[in-house]
Chains A and B, each alone.
Chain A
Amino acid sequence: METEVKLTKLASCAGCGAKVGAGTLVQMLEGFRTHSDPRLIVGYDKSDDACVYVLDRETALVQTTDFFPPIVDDSYLFGQIAAANALSDVYAMGGEPKLALNLLCLADRMEPHTVQEILRGGYDKVYEAGAIIAGGHTIQGAEPIYGLAVTGFVHPDRVLTNAAARPGDVLLLTKPLGVGILTTAAKAGLVEQAVLDRLYRQMSALNKTARDIMVKYPVHSCTDVTGFALLGHSYEMAQGSGCSIRLNTAGIPFHPETYEMAEMGFIPAGAYRNRDYAGAGVKKGPGVTRAMEDICYDPQTSGGLLIALPEGAAEECLSELRERIPQAAVVGRVEERGEYAVYLD
């Protein structure tokens, strides 16, 4: 309907670009008193994708939540992307989502059918994941927001944290980068619809396929690349694992249209926040261009999994991934801890 207000116009920032910077979060949570429980094996203090609580020898509970303002005008698609993004945190822990709750904020000018379509997108995506939406909570606010609280399960011995990479591991990434930069450039009308459609398909694609393949291999560590970008999430993995990560920009998959848009300054504010957060821990090699660095700081909405596994298993895992996800690629290696957390070559 042409008279309708565009969904993205109701929001001041889009998708995971709205995420509060990691540096700000760390500051706000500093000195916060927390309590421990021996069953809580991944908690608040770990900067991980989800928390994990052991129920018994066979089962641990994985819980996470994620929500954001619209990144697309199509409400059904927005629902799917927000749901795929929220579910991803469970996959990143090696788990399987089972239950989800809607988290919804309605802005004044939203039509009822827009809201229905957002919820339908979420519902369909959750169902595709093999989980079910069991309820939710809706409030009124200044901007539309949608996301999920997700509960999943994982075997307690097979939890994949973002803090267990080991020197010698190979790093795989399962979705190309560039979502933040391209959606920013799209606001200037500089991105063709075919490219946007490709981005939307990618953002709404579940990380379930990548997770289901990954768990067949001896993976040490995993996280999903979202708001903190490849460099922010690599930085957290390196810090948590007590290792350094060496990323090879020649192997990093990104949407080819991203490069020129980065050169033209269509860099989302979130990329600058990511640079502020991780920049001091990142050593950029002499051959890395500014645009390539920007792509590595670019916040991703519903990005891929970043998987660390031993070299001996990496090739087979990658080839199996590529059968289903052709863009999956080797992006770097884990090394003994050096002066910097991340080396960008």
Chain B
Amino acid sequence: MEKLDARGLSCPEPVIMIRKAMQSGGAAYEMVVDNPVSRENVTRYAQHEGYTVSVTEGDGEYTLTMTK
């Protein structure tokens, strides 16, 4: 699973980051973001690309696991 760290980034940077990563067509990605806007937007992008997204939250950070 490819792991990405988008903490400290604001939209649309995390979406751009996941978009670039998903262009390789991997089956699973994990991304950490630190704000709800990025959590929502990255989730939207991953779903648009056909991934299933699950989110865990802790210490103001969100870990998104995206699988196909």
A complexed with B: yes
CA distance A185 to B11 in the complex (A): 10
| B26 partner residues in chain A, CB cutoff 8 A | none
CA distance A178 to B41 in the complex (A): 16
Q: Which residues of B contact A (CB under 8 A)?
A: 10-12, 15-16, 19, 36-37, 40-45, 48
Which residue from chain B places its CB closest to the CB of A185 in the assembled complex?
A: B12
Partner of A188, one of B10, B19, B40: B19
| B43 partner residues in chain A, CB cutoff 8 A | 265
B48, A264: Cβ atoms closer than 8 Å? yes
A70 to chain B minimum Cβ distance, whole angstroms, is: 16
Mark out the residues of chain A between 173 and 214 whose CB falls within 8 Å of any chain B CB in the assembled complex: 184-185, 187-188
Whether, in the assembled complex, A238 has its beta carbon less than 8 Å from a beta carbon of chain B, the answer is: no
B37 to chain A minimum Cβ distance, whole angstroms, is: 5
A121 to chain B minimum Cβ distance, whole angstroms, is: 26
Q: Which residues of A contact B (CB under 8 A)?
A: 12, 184-185, 187-188, 263-269, 272, 290
Q: What's the count of A-B pairs with C-beta under 8 Å? A: 42
B40, A272: Cβ atoms closer than 8 Å? yes
| A272 partner residues in chain B, CB cutoff 8 A | 36-37, 40
Which residue from chain A places its CB closest to the CB of B45 in the assembled complex?
A: A265
| B10 partner residues in chain A, CB cutoff 8 A | 12, 269
CA distance A267 to B15 in the complex (A): 10
Known: A269-B37, A272-B36, A272-B37. A184 touches B11 (CB 8 A): yes
B11, A267: Cβ atoms closer than 8 Å? yes
B15, A188: Cβ atoms closer than 8 Å? yes
B41 to chain A minimum Cβ distance, whole angstroms, is: 4
A176 to chain B minimum Cβ distance, whole angstroms, is: 21
Which residue from chain B places its CB closest to the CB of A260 in the assembled complex?
A: B48
